[in-house]
C-alpha cells in the first residue's frame, strides 16, 4: 500500500494519477475534506481507500491498522503563505510531519515529503545549504524547521527520507487553492473574465512584470517524486524546479496566447492593453520573492535526466487540459 497525504489536493492528486498511469492503484488517500469540493480532484483517480486526516493521526499514534505500507508521499500541508496563526501552521506542517516521519522511521518505510523553495526567502542563491536559507514567514519557517530536523536525523535514519523543495508549481487540480493558486491559474481566469491580465509594477530593482521565478509544471514534479521511489538508496533535501527563471511577463504572455490561440509578443500585448500593471501591494513588502531559480545539480547528480518543461510548454498543456473547462 502507498499512502499519499494531501491526496485530494493539487500535487497529491496529480501524484496519484501518475501512480495510476504506472499501473499502481493500491493507494490510501489521507486528506481533510472540510472543503468538500476537493473531492473533484479524486474523481478520476483509482484508489484503495480514503481516510480523514484526524482519523489517520489517531492510527499513527496507536500504531494500529497501518500494515504493509510500501512508501509514504507526504504532500499534506497548509500552503497559505499569508497565514498568521503560527500555532496552527506549526501543528499542521511541522508537528504532523514529525509524527509521520517517526512512524516511517520505526518501520523502515520510505518517506518522501513536500518541502518548499520559500525557505530561501529573499536570497539570490538557491542551493540546498543552510547559509542560503532565510524564512520570511511562518509557512516558510514551518517547512525549514522540518528540513532541519531531517538533516539532524540523517545519520540515524532507518529508511529513505527525501525532502523536495518545490519551486512555483502550476497545473491542473489547483482550482481550490484560492489566492495560493499559481499565477498561471489566476492570469487565465482574469483574462477570460476581463480580457486582460494585471501584473505588479516594478519592485526590488525589477522593471514592470520582470520579477522572475522558477515556474515548474506539476507533471515534472510528479516525475521527480516517482524517480525517488525507484532510488531507495537516495536520501536528502533536493530542489525541484526547472533551473530556469522566467518573468511574470512571460507567464502572462504564454497564458494569453494559449487561451486566445494567438502568438503575440509581450510588447504587443502591453500595447493592446492585454497586459497591465498595478501598484505593488504594501502587505507583500519584505515578504515577496522577486527572484527564484532552482539549483538542480544535486538532483541531476543522482542520475535524473528528464528535461523540465518551459513555461510556454507547460502553459499549453495546462490550457489544453483544464483551464478551458
Environment class of 96 (CB within 10 Å of its CB; exposed 0-12, middle 13-18, buried 19+): buried
Cell reading at 74: 507526504
Q: Residue 26: its pLDDT value, please? A: 97
Provide the whole-model pTM.
0.94
| pLDDT at residue 322 is higher than 80 | no
Contacts of 10 (CB under 8 A, 6+ apart): 41, 169, 171, 173, 174, 176, 177, 218
> Range with the lowest mean pLDDT among 187-191, 194-198, 202-206, 274-278?
202-206
Roughly how many angstroms between the first and final C-alpha of the chain, as a whole number? 33
Distance CA 246, CA 249 (A): 8
| pLDDT at residue 65 is higher than 80 | no
Q: Which of 278, 252, 246, 277 is CA-nearest to residue 265?
A: 252
Distance CA 309, CA 61 (A): 41
| pLDDT at residue 290 is higher than 60 | yes
Number of H helices, E strands in the chain: 11, 13
| pLDDT at residue 188 is higher than 90 | yes
Question: With pLDDT > 70 as the criterion, what percentage of the chain qualifies?
Answer: 98
- Catalytic residue IDs: 139, 177
H or E segment to which residue 100 belongs: helix 96-107
Question: With pLDDT > 90 as the criterion, what percentage of the chain qualifies?
Answer: 83
> Could you tell me the pLDDT band of residue 324, with boundaries at 50, 70 and 90?
very low
pLDDT digits 0-9 by tens, 92-110: 999 999 999 999 999 999 9
| pLDDT at residue 74 is higher than 80 | yes
Q: Which of 136, 116, 112 is CA-nearest to residue 126?
A: 116
The domain over range 2-171+214-244+294-309 is classified in CATH as 3.40.50.720? yes
Averaged pLDDT score across all residues of the chain = 93
Q: Residue 325: its pLDDT value, please? A: 43
Region(s) of the chain under CATH 3.40.50.720: 2-171+214-244+294-309
Amino acid at each position: 500500500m502507498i499512502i499519499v497525504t494531501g491526496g485530494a489536493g493539487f500535487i497529491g492528486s496529480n501524484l496519484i494519477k501518475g501512480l495510476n498511469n504506472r499501473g499502481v492503484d493500491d493507494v490510501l488517500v489521507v486528506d481533510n475534506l472540510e472543503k468538500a469540493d476537493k473531492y473533484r480532484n479524486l474523481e478520476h483517480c483509482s484508489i484503495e481507500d480514503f481516510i480523514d486526516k484526524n482519523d489517520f493521526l489517531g492510527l499513527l499514534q496507536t500504531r494500529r491498522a497501518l500494515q504493509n505500507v510500501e512508501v509514504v508521499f507526504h504532500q499534506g500541508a497548509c500552503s497559505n503563505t499569508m497565514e498568521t496563526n503560527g500555532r496552527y501552521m506549526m501543528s499542521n506542517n511541522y508537528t504532523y510531519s514529525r509524527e509521520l516521519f517517526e512512524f516511517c522511521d520505526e518501520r523502515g518505510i520510505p518517506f518522501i515529503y513536500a518541502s518548499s523553495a520559500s525557505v530561501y526567502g529573499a536570497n539570490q542563491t538557491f542551493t540546498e545549504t543552510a547559509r542560503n536559507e532565510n524564512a520570511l514567514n511562518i509557512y516558510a519557517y514551518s517547512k525549514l524547521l522540518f528540513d532541519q530536523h531531517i538533516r539532524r536525523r540523517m545519520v540515524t535514519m532507518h529508511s529513505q527520507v527525501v525532502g523536495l523543495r518545490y519551486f512555483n508549481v502550476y497545473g491542473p487540480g489547483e482550482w481550490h487553492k484560492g489566492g495560493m493558486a499559481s499565477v498561471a491559474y489566476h492570469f487565465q481566469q482574469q483574462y477570460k473574465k476581463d480580457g486582460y491580465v494585471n501584473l505588479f509594477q516594478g519592485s526590488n530593482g525589477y522593471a514592470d512584470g520582470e520579477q522572475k521565478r522558477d515556474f515548474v509544471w506539476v507533471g515534472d514534479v510528479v516525475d521527480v517524486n516517482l524517480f525517488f521511489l525507484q532510488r531507495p538508496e537516495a536520501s536528502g533535501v533536493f530542489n525541484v524546479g526547472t533551473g530556469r527563471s522566467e518573468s511574470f511577463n512571460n507567464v502572462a504572455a504564454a497564458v494569453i496566447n494559449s487561451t486566445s490561440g494567438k502568438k503575440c509578443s509581450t510588447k504587443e500585448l502591453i500595447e493592446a492593453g492585454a497586459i497591465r500593471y498595478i501598484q505593488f501591494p504594501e502587505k507583500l513588502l519584505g515578504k515577496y520573492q522577486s527572484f527564484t531559480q532552482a539549483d538542480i545539480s544535486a538532483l541531476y547528480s543522482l542520475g535524473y535526466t528528464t528535461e523540465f518543461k518551459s513555461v510556454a510548454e507547460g502553459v499549453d498543456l495546462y490550457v489544453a487540459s483544464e483551464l478551458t473547462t
